A and B are shown apart, each in its own frame.
Chain A
Amino acid sequence: MASEKKASVEILARTVEEAIDRGLSELGLRRDQVEVEIINPGRSGVLGFGAEEARVRITALPEEPALGKELPQREPAVAESLPEEAVEPATESVTAEPDVTELAVNLLQGLLERMKIHAQVTARIGDDLVEEGEDPPLTLDVTGDDLGILIGRRGETLRALQYMTRLMLSRSLERWEPVVVDVESYRVRRRRLLRQLAARMAERVSFSRQRVVLEAMPPHERRIVHIALRDHPDVTTKSIGEGEHRKVTIIPK
C-alpha cells in the first residue's frame, strides 16, 4: 500500500529512548521498520541544571519484500521451549530466564509488602500487551482484593509502580529490562477499550469528515490508538500538545 505516510520525523525528548518511542508511535512503526539517527544524545545535567534534550530523527525504511533477508529477531526463548498448544497463553509461566523472573517478582513483592498491600504476583509472557510481531515482555500480574488504590487515577499509581519495578530490576541486572506490571488486568482492559474507542472515533471521522481530538493519554496509550488506525483507509492520526497534555487527533484523509 502506497498510502501517504510521513516518512521521517524529528523528535525532542528528555532521553534518546523516549524520543525514539515517541517517534515510533508518531509514525506508527516498529523499531525494526525505521532508521534512527541520534542528532543530539542530550545531557541529563546536574539536578536538572545544564540539561539538554535529546534529539533524534526517525526515518521509515522502505518496506522490504517478503523474501528479503530476515531481520534478526529476538525470539523469546520460552516460545520454543514450550510444546505448541500445550499451555494456555494467559497462564504460561516464564521459564526463559528464571533468575530475571524471580528477581522481578521478589522486587515487586517487596514493594507491595512495604506498601501494606496484600496481593499475589504472577509472572507471565505478556503476548496480549503488544502488537503483532513485537517481543512480548515479561509481565507481572498483581491480583488480589480491592486493588484500585494500586491503579490510581488514570493509571497513575500503576505507572509509578511499573517504573519503580523497572528501575530496581534494571539496576540489579545492570541492563535495562522493560518489565511490565499489570494490576487486575488493567492494561489488558485498557488496551481493548482504546482499540474500540479508536475504531468508533475513526468511523465517526470518516463519516463527518471532521477531526476528533481524544483525551490526553500517556505515550503507550497513544501508541495503541496510532497503531490501531495505521492502516485505516479514511483517517490518519497525529499527536498534538506537549507532555501530559498530548492528545491523539484523528484526521480525515
Chain B
Amino acid sequence: MSAMKELVEYMAKALVNDPDAVVVREIEGASATIFELSVAPDDMGRVIGKQGRVANAMRTLLRVAAVKEGKRVTLEIV
C-alpha cells in the first residue's frame, strides 16, 4: 500500500465512529492519482466538515506527501 493511501486511511480512521467502514481506493491516472475515500453514511460529515474544512485539511496534507513523491493527487469523498 502506498504511503499516501495510508495517510488518507490514517486520518479518516481517526475521525470516524466506524473505522472498519473506511475504504480508500487509489486510482492511478496518467497525470494524477485519485484517492477515493468512502466512510459509513453517518460519518460523512466527520470527514467533510463544515464547508469542507476537514476534507480540505486532508487534501492539504495529502498534497505534501504527493510533492515528496513528485505526483499530483486529488482526494474525493464518495
- Which residues does A use to contact B, with CB under 8 Å? 14-15, 44, 46-48, 51, 107, 110-111, 114-117, 149-150, 152, 156-157, 160-161, 163-164, 167-168, 171-172
B57 to A168, Cβ gap below 8 A? no
- Which residues does B use to contact A, with CB under 8 Å? 3-4, 6-7, 10-11, 14-15, 44-45, 48, 50-54, 56-58, 60-61, 64-65, 67-69
The B interface, classified by DSSP as helix, strand, loop or mixed, is helix
10 nearest CB pairs, A to B: A160-B60, A114-B7, A168-B14, A160-B57, A116-B68, A115-B65, A163-B57, A114-B6, A164-B57, A115-B64
* Min C-beta distance of A223 to chain B, whole Å: 19
* Min C-beta distance of A54 to chain B, whole Å: 11
* Min C-beta distance of B20 to chain A, whole Å: 16
Contact residue among A46, A47, A160 (Cβ-Cβ distance under 8 Å from B61): A160
Bound CA–CA A161/B3 (angstroms): 17
23 A-B residue pairs with Cβ-Cβ distance under 8 Å, sorted by A, are: A14-B50, A46-B45, A47-B44, A47-B45, A107-B14, A114-B4, A114-B10, A115-B3, A115-B61, A115-B68, A116-B3, A116-B65, A150-B64, A157-B61, A160-B61, A161-B61, A163-B54, A164-B11, A164-B58, A167-B14, A167-B15, A167-B54, A171-B15
Contact residue among A44, A110, A114 (Cβ-Cβ distance under 8 Å from B65): A114
A111-B61, A163-B54 known; 13 other A-B pairs, CB under 8 Å?
A15-B50, A47-B44, A48-B51, A107-B14, A115-B61, A117-B68, A149-B64, A149-B67, A149-B68, A150-B64, A157-B64, A160-B60, A160-B61
Bound CA–CA A240/B57 (angstroms): 25
Bound CA–CA A214/B58 (angstroms): 30
Bound CA–CA A172/B64 (angstroms): 25
Residues of B near A149 (CB, < 8 A) are: 64, 67-68
* Min C-beta distance of B68 to chain A, whole Å: 4
* Min C-beta distance of B49 to chain A, whole Å: 8
Residues of B near A15 (CB, < 8 A) are: 50
* Min C-beta distance of B76 to chain A, whole Å: 14
> In the complex, which residue of chain A has the Cβ closest to the Cβ of B8?
A114
Bound CA–CA A114/B50 (angstroms): 25
Residues of A near B64 (CB, < 8 A) are: 115, 117, 149-150, 157
Residues of A near B53 (CB, < 8 A) are: 163
Residues of B near A168 (CB, < 8 A) are: 11, 14-15
Residues of A near B3 (CB, < 8 A) are: 114-116
Residues of A near B50 (CB, < 8 A) are: 14-15, 44, 48, 51
Bound CA–CA A47/B14 (angstroms): 20
